[in-house]
Amino acid sequence: MIKKLLVVLMVAYWFATPQVRAIELGDNVTLRGFGTVGLVHSDTRDADFLPNYIFTAKGVGQTESTAYVTDTKAGLQLDWKAMPRLTLTGQVLSKQAWDNTYKPELEWAYAKFAITPSLDLRMGRIRPAIYMLSDYLDVNYANTWVRPPPEFYAVAPITRMEGADLLWRPSFGNVSMLVQPYFGQTKLDLPGSGNNDYLKGRRIEGLNLSASKGDFTMRLGYIQGMLTVRAANLDSGIAGLNFICSTFHDAGACQEADALAPYDRDASFSSIGGTYDNGDYIVSGELGKRSTKMFVSDATSWYVTAGKRIEQWTPYITYASFKNDSAVQFTGGTFAGIPNQLPSTNGIVTQIMRNNPMDEHTVTLGVRYDVMKNVAIKAQWDHVATKTKQGTTGTGKGMFVGSDTFNNNSNNVDLVSVSVDFVF
């Protein structure tokens, strides 16, 4: 742990020595970059903490007690002003991927056309504005925390899509607004069996609305779409229910095979948030509600954070919560199973339901130190508490990925994180 921490601090010193800036390459081409070198330690070996439980292959805790992979990332962005009203943007990001590699991915690749001074059209590969901080989720330097609270920022996991959006920025007196409708489609790889597990979204439609007046900003967001999830374990469970339905005529198996099937199903996420930032004090929070018509659970998630800037230091505190709003146990099947051959209907359905994240909340204490205008060092302690659903076995994992020992109980986990964030 100490040796790894020293490496992180050496990287901080290296970035703090020269003050780098965006690089002008000529012919209206600009190169920008950002990155994070992070270190996380967990006090449990029974489960892995993952910032995004859907797309991350390897966490910290059960896999290894101290890890770099959790937060470390680097990105480059190229902007070319091809014409007075036309800008082309490409962004490549390297971070832990579904296959536990760091191969660069093309996150952004779009053309932006300025229709009027207050109205832009973007087309190509973009990030949908699902959250208040969507544009900066991977640019940790732009955020106060070591990482955005996963209880909220991992709930609607569409990180990029092929489509278009409008950015209209009207003003009414001293109120500045952003009206951002968007639509598109996406396909994202998931950890699992080679390249066969994926999340696909089509007919994605959303709206991002924000209004700012002085030190205050308020935001409303909504996204909906048709989702398909392909995962080997899930496909096997659905196939088992269909077999029980057709062979043993269990009405519960027939009903649940259709209800849980993750193929082209409606899903939506609504959110509201706000920020107060007067230069000295920061207070922000968001509340979101996920609703689906498939195996993915409905969920309520929120966080609130507050900080105080004291010269180069910003201490902060955060409370974040995730609540699974769907059932986690099924008792409506009649097929009792065949020992060593086929589980019961109730067992299969319950297992599918419990593959979802369960209830947890996190208290975070941290501090940010701005070494210079483009480099920040952060240290953060997270106390994560998971809770079983009324003492029900298998419902205590929260958003962790863990063993039965961890999943069957309520748990308290402490995480200590250090990171160096930089931009140029």
pLDDT in tens, 212-243: 999 999 999 999 999 999 988 899 999 999 99
Query: Could you tell me which of 308, 417, 289 has the C-alpha nearest to residue 364?
Result: 417
Cβ(424)–Cβ(22) below 8 Å: yes
Give every CB contact of residue 192 below 8 A, 6+ residues apart in sequence.
Answer: 98, 231, 232, 233
Contact 362, 318 (CB under 8 A): yes
More reliable by pLDDT, 188 or 5: 188
Chain-centre distance for alpha carbon 270: 15
50-67: string of b/e by CB count within 10 Å (b at 16+)? bbbbbbbbbbbbbbbebb
pLDDT tens string 86-126: 999 999 999 988 777 888 999 999 999 999 999 999 999 99
Given the DSSP bridges, would you call strands 105-116 and 29-42 parallel, antiparallel or unpaired?
Answer: unpaired
pLDDT tens for each residue of 17-35: 444 567 888 899 999 999 9
Residue 84 confidence (pLDDT) = 95
Task: Determine the angle formed by the axes of helices 232-248 and 251-260, rounding to 10 degrees.
Answer: 150
Domain of residue 288, residue span = 2-423
d(CA 153, CA 55): 13
Q: In the sheet that 47-49 helps form, which strands lie side by side, from edge to edge?
A: 60-61, 47-49, 401-402
Question: What's the whole-number mean pLDDT along residues 357-380?
Answer: 97
Rounded average pLDDT over 253-275: 96
Euclidean distance between CA atoms 160 and 157, whole angstroms = 9
CA distances from 240 to 111, 289, 296, 303 (A): 46, 31, 18, 39
Distance between first and last Cα of the chain: 29
pLDDT bucket at 8, cuts 50 / 70 / 90: very low
- As for how many domains the chain has, the answer is 1
Give tens-digit pLDDT for 317-331: 999 999 999 999 999
Is 293:122 a contact under the CB 8 Å cutoff?
no
- The pLDDT assigned to 326 comes to 96
Helix axis angle for 251-260 and 345-354, nearest 10°, is 20
* Identity of the amino acid at 119: L
Report the CATH number that the domain containing residue 207 is assigned in CATH. 2.40.160.10
Q: Please give the Cα distance from 143 to 401 (Å, whole number).
A: 26
